[in-house]
Structure 1
Amino acid sequence: MVLHYSVLASGSTGNALYLETEGQRLLIDCGLSGKKMVELLGQIGRKPEDISAILVTHEHSDHIRGLGVFARRFQTPVYANEKTWQAMSPVVGEIPTDQKFVFQANTQRSFGGLDIESFSVSHDAADPMFFVIHEQERKLTLLTDLGYVSGQIKGMIRDSDAYIIEANHDTEMLMMGRYPWSVKRRILGDTGHISNEESGLALAEVLGNRTKKIFLAHLSKDNNMKELARLSVGQRLEGSGLKIGRDIGLFDTDPEHATQLTAI
């Protein structure tokens, strides 16, 4: 089997990741309207009724906006930890009991040929968690929405074949921007979001010989730019001896358009 994936959307306005192996088609998060989710799946030639399950990282609206509508319309099973279920239930509305499943943080579940490992992160949500996806010897890390990358997380995600990792903001743009200080302090804090610089520093510590692709995700629409994120992270990686484009690929994600379906 081969693991294929596409970042359907990523950014302040909505997030969703598509995963596919033979017999399994999963979403991680469903943070855009139900209609937009159908459109994004169509961009990669996939149908919403074929989704086997949706896994939820946390209850913030840019990760669950279309969840209730999508799950009800297509009878899709949904997996989240108990605290996230409690926090998001008033927002997503009623989901049939036989579609609701618990996937606790810091545990592992199998979905066909995929073994998915959840881990806790520091973010201002009820019980936020992200995932390392294992398919035989291959490994894909999804890591956004966290205030810092702990040593424990670095150990878990080390030497992944590919990373989808947060590069939320340029610190100078954030500090000079229009946000009130309370919001800036939240973003910069230990339960906020990591910057371009912090993303590059973390990646430089965890990349291994098999790492081939990095997708920069969850960019702020007000406090970042794709070119700036690529430049900042790329400089950090090249400072550690890697050549972007030769040793490793560095790619954008987008809030409106899916990345092409990619194999690990």
Structure 2
Amino acid sequence: MKSLIKVLASGSSGNCYIIQTGEEKIVLECGIDYKSILKGLNYSIKGVVGCLISHKHLDHCKSHKKIFENLPKVIAPLEVLEKFDYMSSSKKVIAENKESIHIGNFIVMPFNCQHTNSDGSECENLGYFIHHKMIGRILFVTDTYYLKYKFKNVDHILIECNYSEDTIQALEPHEQRVFKSHMSLEILKETLKTWDLFSTRTITLIHLSRNNGEPKRFKKEIEQLTGIPTYIAIEGLEVG
């Protein structure tokens, strides 16, 4: 069976992705209804080793209850597990900064990202560096206004590109604050310039703003900068 990354949903209305490697699968985020996740899994959870959740906002963990009921393991930050009362669950795995986790034949390394709640308070949010011998190394980063870590030897990058700085200048300050909790095109470009992308085969831009994202522009500018095939995360996209 082919190894691939599949997009079920990406954006403020919901996020969910599937990594498939042979007979094994792992779900990234569960911010859509469980029926849609099952559909993306071809109505079978056979081979699904677990789910990774980045943070507590519902567009990333809407179906947490069904996920805990049906999947063998759920990897999530402490704040998620405490908020939804899963600390006593035998299925929980607490994700901590730079502490490796083995789940099936996947090796997952969580790392801290920077995100805020709607009131401006800090929100615990994690990115994931995921390795499986059949697909290589995958970097997953969402809902962060910058990254303090540099990466190399990454085969596939899924990373937020929510808006462009020049498109939100006309917005009111309180509206701009919402965007400032996410990664802009400009910050992403500066970030990628500092990474060793020699091994990178694909870049997928995720969590674009519905009204302020510019898919064609973002794709073009990232491809021009990196020379790497770049995709926009839309429902049904498969990258392998």
Report TM bin, short chain: 0.7 to 0.9
In the alignment, residue 144 of structure 2 is paired with which amino acid?
L
Provide the C-alpha distance between the structure 1 equivalents of 2:53 and 2:183, rounded to a whole number of angstroms: 20
**How far has the Cα of 1:218 moved from its partner?**
0.7
In the alignment, residue 196 of structure 1 is paired with which amino acid?
L
**How far has the Cα of 1:227 moved from its partner?**
1.0
Mark the CA change 1:158 to 1:195 in structure 2 (over 3 Å): closer, same or farther: same
Deviation string for 1:62-106 (max 9, x for gaps)?
Answer: 10012213432x24422212222113x06xxx7982332322232
Provide the C-alpha distance between the structure 2 equivalents of 1:128 and 1:135, rounded to a whole number of angstroms: 23
Report what 1:86 is aligned to: 82
Which residue, out of 91, 110, 132, partners 2:129?
Answer: 132
Report what 2:229 is aligned to: 249
Alignment of 1:165-184 (within 5 A): 165-177=159-171, 180-184=172-176
Deviation string for 1:149-186 (max 9, x for gaps)?
Answer: 22xx11xx223111101110022222224xx4223124
Alignment of 1:112-151 (within 5 A): 112-124=104-116, 126-136=123-133, 138-150=136-148
Structure 2: gaps (5+ residues): 117-121
**How far has the Cα of 1:26 moved from its partner?**
0.9
In the alignment, residue 146 of structure 1 is paired with which amino acid?
T
**How far has the Cα of 1:109 moved from its partner?**
0.7
Q: TM (normalized to structure 1)?
A: 0.79
The RMSD of aligned alpha carbons is 2.5
Report what 1:100 is aligned to: 92
Mark the CA change 1:54 to 1:7 in structure 2 (over 3 Å): closer, same or farther: same
Alignment of 1:33-72 (within 5 A): 33-42=33-42, 47-48=44-45, 50-72=47-69
**How far has the Cα of 1:59 moved from its partner?**
0.5
**How far has the Cα of 1:112 moved from its partner?**
2.5
Q: TM (normalized to structure 2)?
A: 0.86
Report what 1:109 is aligned to: 101
Higher strand share: 2
Per chain length, whose mean CA-contact separation is higher, i.e. which structure has more relative contact order (CA < 8 Å, sep 6+)?
Answer: 1
**How far has the Cα of 1:121 moved from its partner?**
0.8
Which residue, out of 224, 227, 233, partners 2:222?
Answer: 233
